[in-house]
Amino acid sequence: MIWSLLALVCFLYLLTLFGRVIFDWVQVFSRDFRPKGILLVLAEFFYTLTDPPVKFLRRYIPPLTIGQLRIDVGFLILFVGVTVLLQFFNIMAAR
């Protein structure tokens, strides 16, 4: 029971990370984008939940620089870590 609940929490957090990715990419392609109304509430929700762990990882893991491209490795590690935890909790829940 507890493993299923932990898997659900990880899944919901993974969806929150996807929401953050969508807002980040919208801002990359449309610099003038300023969320209003319900989009502002969603953006605040996504960033409030994902900023603390992302900032913690960014403090210790610098972005990977390839030419002029900088890849945020901290976000990728958080995403992979949550995915691994989700799989682990699902396996434990199936026992």
Residue 26 pLDDT greater than 90, yes or no? yes
Domains of the chain by residue range:
2-94
Side chain identity at residue 20, one-letter code = R
DSSP code for 69: E
User: Distance (Å, rounded) from C-alpha 92 to C-alpha 87?
Assistant: 9
**Token pair for 67:** 């030419």
Q: Which amino acid is it at 26?
A: V
Chain centroid offset of residue 28 CA: 16
Instruction: Please report which confidence band the pLDDT of residue 25 belongs to, taking 50, 70 and 90 as the band edges.
Output: very high
pLDDT digits (tens, 9 = 90+) for 28-58: 899 888 889 999 999 999 999 999 999 999 9
pLDDT reading at 72 higher than 90: no
Question: CA angle, corner 78, sides to 47 and 11, nearest 5?
Answer: 75
